[in-house]
Amino acid sequence: MNVLIDKFDVFAGGFWLTLQICVLAAIGALILGAVVAVLRISPVPPLRAVGTGYVNVFRNMPLTVVMFFAAFGLPALGSNADFLRIPGVDALFTRLGTDLPYFRFALIALVLYTAAFVCEALRSGVNAVPAGQAEAARSIGLTFGQNLRYVVLPQSWKASVVPLGSVIIAMIKNSALAGFFGVVGDLSATADQLTGAEGYAFIPVAIGISIGYLIMTVPLGALLDRIEKRQAVAR
């Protein structure tokens, strides 16, 4: 188990990089997922079709395949995902701005994939709002946008906290795949590095990276439990 102490800096570095991926991917997936959810519940059929199509494609495609498309498909299409080099943000998350695009590719894949699940989590929340609420809102002359903003979304949010949390936790675990698509030094790649190049035994290293992921996921789960209790809809 010495590896956990001797190589603490390696584990910590991997943890930090994975955390960066997860924070950015969570923000991206929540935004994109919300947009897709709005599309899916909108009253305009073509927009609904776009939303449904998006969810059906990305929810049913394995993440490995999505990663493959991002890491090897985008370059083939001539894109290095440079639009993700957002000034200011890349100062904090330095990997966004480096010339190696694989951090950005992994981010794109995670966001696209997770957004489909975020959309469905939000939609399940919307479905939990009694239909009479939306009908009442419409009857007093609120537009679709106002209806969502003032009546439906505030209520649906409470019902989607728990499923959304599960989606984000799943996303954190899914981020382990990034290490196999060119993202150097994230938590999962750390394991390969320590067992492959440095010859450490597998089990202590695996325990080390498991702890890293648990540090990210367990407190998040506990936090969600508290939010749920506080925001619970009394029925």
| Residues at the contact surface with other proteins, assessed by CB under 8 A | 71-72, 75-76, 80, 94-95, 98-102, 179-182, 184-185, 189, 191-199, 201-202
Q: Supply the minimum distance, in Å, between the C-beta of residue 27 and other proteins.
A: 22
- Cα 223 from chain centroid (whole Å): 17
Phi-psi label, residue 46: left if phi above 0, alpha if psi -120 to 50, beta otherwise: alpha
Q: Would you give the DSSP letter of residue 72? A: I
Q: Supply the minimum distance, in Å, between the C-beta of residue 43 and other proteins.
A: 43
Q: How far apart are the first and last CA of the chain?
A: 50
What number of CA atoms fall less than 13 Å from residue 219's CA on the CB side? 5
Q: Supply the minimum distance, in Å, between the C-beta of residue 102 and other proteins.
A: 6
Identify which of residues 68 and 157 has a Cβ nearer to other proteins in the complex: 68
Residue with tokens 């609120």: 142
The count of other CB atoms within 10 Å of the CB of residue 144 is 16
How far is the C-alpha of 185 from the C-alpha of 214, rounded, in Å? 18
Identify which of residues 150 and 202 has a Cβ nearer to other proteins in the complex: 202
Phi then psi for 199, rounded to 5 degrees?
A: 70, 20
Identify which of residues 129 and 191 has a Cβ nearer to other proteins in the complex: 191
Q: Supply the minimum distance, in Å, between the C-beta of residue 201 and other proteins.
A: 7
Identify which of residues 76 and 233 has a Cβ nearer to other proteins in the complex: 76
Identify which of residues 6 and 225 has a Cβ nearer to other proteins in the complex: 6
Identify which of residues 83 and 226 has a Cβ nearer to other proteins in the complex: 83
Q: Supply the minimum distance, in Å, between the C-beta of residue 69 and other proteins.
A: 13
Q: Supply the minimum distance, in Å, between the C-beta of residue 22 and other proteins.
A: 18
Identify which of residues 54 and 102 has a Cβ nearer to other proteins in the complex: 102
How far is the C-alpha of 68 from the C-alpha of 71, rounded, in Å? 5
Burial 169-178 (b: 16+ CB within 10 A, else e): bebbebbbbb
What number of CA atoms fall less than 13 Å from residue 154's CA on the CB side? 8
How far is the C-alpha of 158 from the C-alpha of 227, rounded, in Å? 9
Q: Supply the minimum distance, in Å, between the C-beta of residue 13 and other proteins.
A: 9
